[in-house]
Structure 1
C-alpha cells in the first residue's frame, strides 16, 4: 500500500537532486560572435513580447474574455511547503520564481489558441514544436504585422487564426507547416467544435475543473489537458490523475518502498490513491503537480 510514513525522511535525497551545471569555461572568438547574435535576437524577441494590441483590434483578433482564476503564488507555495516537509527540500526560491512567473503570465483570453498550441506541442521537442507553430500561424493573413521571418513568434504574439480561418484551409495547406496527419485532424476537430459552439469560451469561467476536463475529452487529441487548467485558466487545485509524469512523481514521492509492480519497480498509484495521497497539498495541488514534473525534469508546453 502506498502511504506516508515516518521512514520517508530516510529516502535518498538524490531522487530530488537537480542536475548541476558544468563549470564555466572561457569562450572562443567564434562563440563570442554567436553569443552576440543570440543577444540581439533575444532583444528583438523581448520587444515583440511586450507588444500589445490596440483595444480597437480586439474584436478582429477573436479574443474571448475568459479570465484566469489567478491566486497568490506565494501563499500557495508556502502552504504546500509547510504541509509537505519532504517536498520542501526542492522548493527553493529559484523554483518558486519559475512557478510564480507561470501564474503571473497566465492568459485565458484565448482558450482556442492555447488548445491548438497544446496539440502542436504533443510528443515533440519544444524547439521543433515552436518552429511548427510559427509556420502554422504564418499560413494566415494577420491584421498584426508579422516580424522578421527569421524570428519565432512568441506565445505573447497578439494574434492567432480563428476556427473559421483554420477550416478554410485544406489539409495539405495545414500540413505544409509541418503538422502530422493526425495533429491536423485534431486541430480541425477542435476548430469544428468551437465553430459549432460545442465549446463556448465564455462559459469556461463558470465550469468546474471536472466539467472542463470532460468537455476537452470530447475533442480528439486533447484529453483532460491539465496544463490548460493550470497555466491558462490558472486553477489552483489541479491534479492530473492520468498524467504519467505526475503519477510517477507521486509514486516516488509517497511510496515507502513496500509497493512494487511485477517488474519490481515502484508501482504507480491509481486515481483514487493519488487524490488521497495529495490531499495534503489541497487546495493548491497545482503546485505539487507542477513539482512532480520538475523533479523529473519533464518539459511541458509552458517551459
Structure 2
C-alpha cells in the first residue's frame, strides 16, 4: 500500500508535508537558535537575521518557540489517535461476534458519545483533573472513538458474511483466530483512512485548547498559544499569526490529503486505479516500441 500511496501525487505531497512536521517535532528543540523561554529587552521586534520571525511581547524568539512547540502539538494529536483507535476498533470488531447484548451496549454508548461536544468536555475534564494535555487528549480520544467503532464494525460485518469466515467458525476456530487471520487484513484499509483523518482532527483540537490556554501552562510554547498571543498584538505585528496558522493548516491539510490518498489506493477503487495505470503504461510502451513489420514474410 505504501508504494501505491507514493505513486499518487497527493500521496507524495502528504507524506512530504507530514514528514517535515514529524522532523520538526523530533528535532525542533535542538534546531531552535535561541532558548524559547528566554526574554530580552527587544520586545515586538520585526524579523531579522538574529530573529527570523521577530520577537513576542516579552522579547522571546518566535521562531524558536514555533519549533519547540511543534512537539507538544504532534504528541497531543498522536495521543488522541491512539486512544480513539484502541477504544473504537476493538469493540467495533468484537461487537459482531460477542452476541446481541454486547452489540446493543456498545451501540448505545457510541450514540451517546457522538452526541457529546468533545471540546466542551475536554475543557470540563481539565478543570476537574488539572490543566494538562494528557487529560484533555484522553477525553477527546474517547469522544472521537465512535468514528473508529463504526468504520471497523461496518468493515467487519462485510467480512463476517464471507463463506471462508463462516467455514472457519464452523470448523471450531476461535473468535480471536478468525479476527487475526481473516478479518483484520480486510478492515485495516478503512481504519487507516479514519486514522489519517483523526490526526488532522487531533491537531485542530490541540490547537484549539492551547489557543484558549488549556492543556499547557505558560510560558511553554504551543502553536495555538503562539497564535493567541500574536492576535493580541496585531497592531504592532500584523504578520505574527501567519507562521503558527500556516503550520496548523499545513498539518491538517497533509493529514486529510493522506487520508484521501489511502482511500484512493485501498479496496476495489485502489485496484481499479492500479490496473488503469498499468494499462496506460503498457499502451505507452507499445506506442514507444512498436513491433517491426516484416515485408515479404521474412527478414532479409
Provide TM-score, normalisation by structure 1: 0.22
Whose relative contact order is higher, 1 or 2, with alpha carbons under 8 Å and at least 6 apart?
A: 1
Larger Rg: 2
